[in-house]
Structure 1
């Protein structure tokens, strides 16, 4: 509380009876000086109304005597003051702090392999001719580099045409911004929101899957914005964790996404994981042999976030114990510690999962683990692979060893069983039932 406010209270206390000062003036809370206004908060509407009617002139006169300037009393309730602070904070966030493009996410730092080559080529193509292939729709699981590509597109276009206005936004931020604007119940605010988004030459929209069916008005607004930008050949890039036909959005919006390019960003393959690890270890000065790099890539069956997590563990260990170099044995030990920690400890081991699938589908264990290509055995085998990977968190390389199969065979098996789910609801329900039984033991 400012000293001048304390002095104002002291001055007012000399002019009104102690009983009224205690009940109506002492509970007031000074908020701020704002131009020629003295903003003060009252704990209730009753006290606010009484002070405005009876004691406003006392406070204003005391402020003049203490500060030497005339101030008008502006009285709020505590609730109004809280709302005012929140409004100012949100307005500042939306209007003055639009997220900037991450300069580290560019095409030069994006490592290309077969699993992301199509998406990378599509991204480069639209930078050469923005608006020609519109929209570009990128889809793939979490952590495979979709956001990196969005920022890379923005950075590349900005480098070629600095005058272009580019906005990266994810669906949750867009949704929050729109809801806040609507709640202002102010036509000018809504128009300002629309004009701001319509002004962009490039819109990079991330995680559109969260713009779900419950956000009707937001979908309508995005639909109108999409059409506005599309008709004026402004480049639109959309990223999601699933193909456009699986989005929980209105059909008329999903239909707009098939006009341009669609590119799948697949899970990291062995080659990409190896190159990512090589890049990270060079960046963080962790010398590592080719053999251990290969071992990490084989066993760290995860996205880029999982890989950087392992490298962070190595960096921390090296710093904590002041090692100049880490031996291959120590690197494997540290990495394996994280791998073991990340695997879900749920009371089931791989053998039990396989036995459960055998029981549910009435097949023999030796047939699931064998090499027979009969459909009756392939489907349970692929189901086991998916459950071992998703529920127990086993790397695909380890699953391959269990089934005496190559890493790529496991990837193929998991992909095929997921495709089957869309065709066979009973199979999907069986998968969910087994998954639930394993997860809650």
Structure 2
């Protein structure tokens, strides 16, 4: 293609004066020869206009001489080419297929009990009356089905109204995409990002608690996007691990979440755990008696991932030893290994550590995560930071996101409490008790 372009330029140079060729033709760059079209880019709008007015016939004639086809000339500017390039990069790097809805997460596979009935009802109401309740805000601890519910909503809307554009995205993915967009050499990347998200009929936004103070501009962009979609009655569904008033976000953004409805999902209760084990026992062909189902429900936690982990262990054991059936004793033995491990690692979730410190130090969650400089609040806050850093090896930047604090604030807090522990025996006793409880409960 490059050789054809050189030959075209040579033909054109034979027919116009050298100074005009140098000024108007030489700066042109070949973009592509596409079917019956010759597309070139000009460095400015002035040259583009001049080419279209005076020299298009020369270029089309030269192209015919070289290629043998009648090609129509299209001139764009370098800015247009850059914009198209940025758009192409964005589309390839953040293809919507990477955020496709999980077809396994439907309302049919969502187990309902008193622990999540409110959220399930809210989701059903949303489906029956689109945009009447906007936004819908779900919150609850890890592993209770928030993400499942978001995908179920998306899948149901897609089934009923296939023409609607739906986007599921986590706050971390949204943040990464936004950062990539703003790092482009001009505003085209950011514009493409905005236009893309403004085009959706339904936005399913997961883990909004990570869209915190350390992502100031991302919060502003989400605020603008939220308003754009809300004003046009596009459905917005948000999921978080905490109530909206406890989010580490600007008040003006949190205030937007009170317009619609919110519903919490609690840890799976015994009834729900029993139903899940009964369902999975049939799906995985591992028969269980009612007594065994009751035992598993009584001894397991309210985290659906932990329940699935037990079932996966049973499937693996059955396959490894080529067994047709598993005895009740074997199932209990395999499950108990997983249950003991889960009991030892209950503090794996930072949210559980926060709740434990609040309970131990007799303060509210909002005070622990707040900005007050009172010693009654700042000592437990720094103690919690140290636990997350030493026991769970969380990075200081991650801890900063949890507490809506700068990286340097976390460093200072950890250093400060570490020095206090060396001289304050009672505080050190509390810290060691917390470590023991988190590590070995």
Q: TM-score, normalised by structure 2?
A: 0.62
Q: Please give the secondary structure, in 2, of the residue aligned with 1:233.
A: coil
| Counterpart in the other structure of 2:419 | none
Paired residues for 1:15-164 under 5 Å: 92-95=92-95, 97-164=97-164
Asked whether 1:230 is paired with 2:225, we answer no
- Runs of 4+ in structure 1 off by over 4 angstroms are 87-91, 389-392, 416-420, 423-428, 430-435
Cα deviation, residue 390, structure 1: 4.8
Change (3 A) 1:153 1:391: closer
Cα deviation, residue 244, structure 1: 0.4
Cα deviation, residue 155, structure 1: 0.9
Q: Tell me, in whole angstroms, the C-alpha distance in 1 between the residues paired with 2:149 and 2:210.
A: 19
State whether residues 344 and 391 of structure 1, in contact with CA within 8 Å, keep that contact through their aligned partners in structure 2.
Answer: no
Cα deviation, residue 438, structure 1: 3.3
Q: Tell me, in whole angstroms, the C-alpha distance in 1 between the residues paired with 2:433 and 2:92.
A: 47
Q: Tell me, in whole angstroms, the C-alpha distance in 2 between the residues paired with 1:420 and 1:228.
A: 42
Q: Tell me, in whole angstroms, the C-alpha distance in 1 between the residues paired with 2:257 and 2:360.
A: 23
Change (3 A) 1:327 1:236: same
Q: Tell me, in whole angstroms, the C-alpha distance in 2 between the residues paired with 1:149 and 1:418.
A: 33
Offset from partner CA, 1:163-210 (integer Å, 9 cap, x none): 111000000000000000000032222111111100100000000001
Offset from partner CA, 1:106-144 (integer Å, 9 cap, x none): 111111000000000000101111111000000000110
Q: Tell me, in whole angstroms, the C-alpha distance in 2 between the residues paired with 1:232 and 1:35.
A: 39
Q: Tell me, in whole angstroms, the C-alpha distance in 2 between the residues paired with 1:284 and 1:435.
A: 45
Q: Tell me, in whole angstroms, the C-alpha distance in 2 between the residues paired with 1:209 and 1:418.
A: 24
State whether residues 202 and 236 of structure 1, in contact with CA within 8 Å, keep that contact through their aligned partners in structure 2.
Answer: yes
Paired residues for 1:326-405 under 5 Å: 326-344=326-344, 390=347
Paired residues for 1:192-203 under 5 Å: 192-203=192-203
Change (3 A) 1:119 1:418: farther
Q: Please give the secondary structure, in 2, of the residue aligned with 1:236.
A: strand
Cα deviation, residue 288, structure 1: 0.7
Cα deviation, residue 159, structure 1: 1.3
Asked whether 1:429 is paired with 2:380, we answer yes
Cα deviation, residue 302, structure 1: 3.6
Offset from partner CA, 1:228-256 (integer Å, 9 cap, x none): 00001100000000000110100000000
Q: Which runs of 5+ in 2 are unaligned?
A: 1-30, 34-86, 350-354, 369-375, 385-426, 437-441
Change (3 A) 1:343 1:102: same
Q: Tell me, in whole angstroms, the C-alpha distance in 1 between the residues paired with 2:185 and 2:175.
A: 16
Cα deviation, residue 419, structure 1: 12
Q: TM-score, normalised by structure 1?
A: 0.62
Cα deviation, residue 341, structure 1: 2.8
Q: Please give the secondary structure, in 1, of the residue aligned with 2:263.
A: strand
| Counterpart in the other structure of 2:420 | none
Cα deviation, residue 280, structure 1: 1.3
**Alignment size in residue pairs:** 297
Q: Tell me, in whole angstroms, the C-alpha distance in 1 between the residues paired with 2:152 and 2:205.
A: 13
State whether residues 269 and 302 of structure 2, in contact with CA within 8 Å, keep that contact through their aligned partners in structure 1.
Answer: no
Change (3 A) 1:218 1:331: same
| Counterpart in the other structure of 1:220 | 220
Asked whether 1:296 is paired with 2:238, we answer no
State whether residues 116 and 265 of structure 1, in contact with CA within 8 Å, keep that contact through their aligned partners in structure 2.
Answer: yes
State whether residues 172 and 211 of structure 1, in contact with CA within 8 Å, keep that contact through their aligned partners in structure 2.
Answer: yes
Paired residues for 1:4-19 under 5 Å: none
Cα deviation, residue 91, structure 1: 5.0
Q: Tell me, in whole angstroms, the C-alpha distance in 2 between the residues paired with 1:184 and 1:200.
A: 23
Change (3 A) 1:419 1:121: farther
| Counterpart in the other structure of 2:287 | 287
Q: Please give the secondary structure, in 1, of the residue aligned with 2:281.
A: helix
Cα deviation, residue 338, structure 1: 1.5
Q: Tell me, in whole angstroms, the C-alpha distance in 2 between the residues paired with 1:154 and 1:246.
A: 26
Cα deviation, residue 93, structure 1: 2.8
| Counterpart in the other structure of 1:261 | 261
Cα deviation, residue 422, structure 1: 1.3
Offset from partner CA, 1:271-326 (integer Å, 9 cap, x none): 11111111111111111111011101111124000000000110011111111011
| Counterpart in the other structure of 2:433 | 438
| Counterpart in the other structure of 1:209 | 209
Q: Tell me, in whole angstroms, the C-alpha distance in 2 between the residues paired with 1:228 and 1:420.
A: 42
Change (3 A) 1:125 1:435: farther
Q: Tell me, in whole angstroms, the C-alpha distance in 2 between the residues paired with 1:420 and 1:238.
A: 30
Q: Please give the secondary structure, in 1, of the residue aligned with 2:94.
A: helix
Change (3 A) 1:213 1:135: same
Q: Tell me, in whole angstroms, the C-alpha distance in 2 between the residues paired with 1:435 and 1:241.
A: 27
